[in-house]
Chains A and B, each alone.
Chain A
Amino acid sequence: MEASQAPARLAVCECLTAFGGTRDTLAAMLRGERALRLVPALGNEGGDDAPMALLSGRSLDEQSPPAWLAPLRRFLAPVCGPGWGTARHPVIVTSSNFGVGSLHAYRRAHALPATAETAAAHARYGPIHKSVAVLHDACGWGANITVFSHACVSAHLGLVHAGRLLALQDNHGRALVDEVLVVSYDFLSPFVAGGFNSLKILNAEFPAPYMDRPASAIGLGDGAAYAVLARDRGEFQIAAQSLHNEMHHFTANQPDGSGFVAAFAPIVRAAAGMRVWVKGHGTGTLEAGRLESAAVAAAFPGAPLVSWKGALGHTLGSCGLVELAIAAASMRKTAADSPSLTPGTVGSSAPVFTPEVATAPFDNRAFDGIVCASNAFGGAHAALLLRHA
């Protein structure tokens, strides 16, 4: 039995954002639209206004059942059913938030004796294993569900592990896994927005990733996505993946940018001879934006760099998969004489940190690969190289 890694194909990849599904999200971003609106960070309890992009009709305060559950179930309909979650068709679930909004709602309701029943209702959706169980029940999957939670690189871990599962063979060289479903979901709540606000990285400004301006600003967004990874079907392949954890500081990168360099190094080797553009992490914080854009310019000279968190907000643990779905959709082959457009860095304008930062949509037909990168607490980095199969 062996587990040598071969490129995995991206058979399906779709996302759900405040704009809607993948197609609607891509179209809105190409129009330069921003889904972010100012919302009190503590929901009904008030607090400072901060930019957030919530699913249509959803409020920040959690309900029971969670208001995001039904739209998530509808979004996942193409990958529901007992065919997934088996030994040969495993499911990987990733998130940073899971059901933390329900835990916050439980705590609030529990403080008031008159709402004890309400509190109990929230408790069913709170911890990670219950949140995943609710999703499992809603989707009718089997029990083979692996769960990763590594803040904002969570979805990348799912993609890496999926590739490794696909490579598993028995002693006769027969594959043990046919296809892998990776699902990621992160929905906002006062738990998350209040936490980021307490870290002083949320304010009433809208994010402008990679823009050279006086102050940082980030936005947060609801997001979910799924991908089916396969060996032999799909327009795109994940040609390489890379992980690196700086372990320098909980909320800061190594000041010399060495973490970005280490994460990009395997991708640079895999992309040798290719013309790539880069979908960066770009939350809108100045220090990390400077480090990332400089590292991208050095690793992939001349490659356009975009971030989409100025439009979608930061979809946290799901951002890697949400943004991968948009990147892949923008690269789908079109008629030879029609442009194939990739959204620019919505919300940003000159001056930007490097000349490669694309603030407007660009025609991607000149490129044959995409580098998608994400970062997280603890100086965690993840990157992948997507190309046509």
Chain B
Amino acid sequence: MLERLIQTIRTDDAGSEDIAATRERLKAAFPPGAARRMTQLGMLMSAIIGELGPRSDDAIIYATQFGEGRTLENYLESFPTPSPTGFQSSIHPGAVQQGMIRRAQPVGEFFPMADGGCLAGHSILAAFLSPAPCVLLCGGEERGSWLTSIDSASSRAYAYGMILLPKDNAASALQPAGSIVMEPDAAEATPLPPGDWFDLLHARKNFSGVIAPGWRTTLSWR
């Protein structure tokens, strides 16, 4: 059995909020002018990272199905004069980097993960397999517009982040918020879409299911 305690968790259900509203709502989290250059998901993730304060020897596991969907749309719309900043933020999941670069904070392990139904389960397993004692498991989506019609961007915006500690870590004695357990299970995996995983975290709902082949995941809240 693999187990980690959720020491701290933050969630932000931005829903259908547009980027201007997100910028206004979160502007206090950033230096003046900084949010103007950030993507919506970059702002959501950065605000959470700022609250959780990962250290340089922590690992970061970042899960997103679509990444910066709206930014991707903007980049595609910029052709035939493609935007350099749009390219950087749409060719790979860069929301975490926006937050960490702003903090100028190096980190050893950073695993951006993608895909759909098994993403939650696989990202938890990646977090559990990291040798780092403290892991920031985070994820989120940016609300797209025209790309949502072809299932190429998210229809809602949200972000989450949680600090996972080993069960025997001294800091975990400080009233953990919950725990995640993974144990081998041969039952057929049932996909859990990334948005449904976020909803479980946001509502602090208990859950047990085989959401990655070979592994049962149990989420429990204190």
Tell me if chain B binds chain A.
yes
Listed in ascending order, the chain A residues whose CB lies under 8 Å from chain B are 1, 3, 5, 42, 45-47, 85-88, 90, 96-98, 100, 103-104, 106-108, 120, 123, 126-130, 132, 142-151, 157, 161, 164-165, 168, 170-171, 176, 190-192, 194-200, 243-251, 259, 262, 317, 376-380
Distance of B44 from chain A, by nearest CB (Å): 18
For residue B136, CB closer than 8 A to chain A, the reply is: no
A129-B65, A198-B87 are contacts. A247–B107 as well, Cβ < 8 Å?
A: yes
A103-B152, A195-B75, A198-B82 are contacts. A247–B111 as well, Cβ < 8 Å?
A: no
Which residues of the partner chain A approach B79 to less than 8 Å between Cβ atoms? 42, 45, 104, 107-108, 190, 194
Please provide the 6 A-B residue pairs with the shortest distance between their CB atoms, ordered closest to farther: A87-B214, A195-B87, A144-B213, A147-B115, A129-B116, A123-B150
Q: Would B118 and A128 count as touching, CB distance under 8 A? A: no
Q: Which chain B residues in 30-88 approach chain A with CB under 8 Å? A: 65-67, 72, 75-77, 79-84, 86-88
Count of chain B residues near A, Cβ 8 A? 61
Distance of A2 from chain B, by nearest CB (Å): 9
Which residues of the partner chain A approach B177 to less than 8 Å between Cβ atoms? none
Q: Would A247 and B115 count as touching, CB distance under 8 A? A: no
B2 in complex: contacting residue of A1, A123, A129, A195, CB < 8 Å: A1
Which residues of the partner chain A approach B106 to less than 8 Å between Cβ atoms? 244-248, 259, 262, 379
Residue of A nearest to B76 (CB): A107
Listed in ascending order, the chain B residues whose CB lies under 8 Å from chain A are 1-2, 65-67, 72, 75-77, 79-84, 86-88, 91-94, 97, 100-101, 103-116, 118-119, 122, 125-126, 128-131, 147, 150-153, 183-184, 186, 189, 212-215
Residue of A nearest to B98 (CB): A250
Cα separation A127 to B114 with both chains bound (whole Å):
10
Q: Would B110 and A150 count as touching, CB distance under 8 A? A: yes
A130-B151, A164-B129 are contacts. A247–B92 as well, Cβ < 8 Å?
A: no
A168 in complex: contacting residue of B88, B129, B212, CB < 8 Å: B129
Distance of A343 from chain B, by nearest CB (Å): 28
Distance of B148 from chain A, by nearest CB (Å): 11
Distance of A84 from chain B, by nearest CB (Å): 12
Which residues of the partner chain A approach B86 to less than 8 Å between Cβ atoms? 195
Which residues of the partner chain A approach B125 to less than 8 Å between Cβ atoms? 146
Which residues of the partner chain B approach A176 to less than 8 Å between Cβ atoms? 184, 214
Distance of B93 from chain A, by nearest CB (Å): 6
A42-B80, A198-B82, A247-B106 are contacts. A100–B152 as well, Cβ < 8 Å?
A: no
Residue of A nearest to B116 (CB): A129
Q: Would A247 and B214 count as touching, CB distance under 8 A? A: no
Which residues of the partner chain B approach A377 to less than 8 Å between Cβ atoms? 88, 91-92, 94, 97
Cα separation A341 to B75 with both chains bound (whole Å):
44
Q: Would B76 and A103 count as touching, CB distance under 8 A? A: yes
A126 in complex: contacting residue of B77, B116, B150, CB < 8 Å: B150
Q: Would B118 and A196 count as touching, CB distance under 8 A? A: no
Q: Would A380 and B110 count as touching, CB distance under 8 A? A: yes
Residue of B nearest to A170 (CB): B184
Distance of B149 from chain A, by nearest CB (Å): 9
Cα separation A142 to B147 with both chains bound (whole Å):
28
Cα separation A63 to B150 with both chains bound (whole Å):
17
Residue of B nearest to A102 (CB): B152
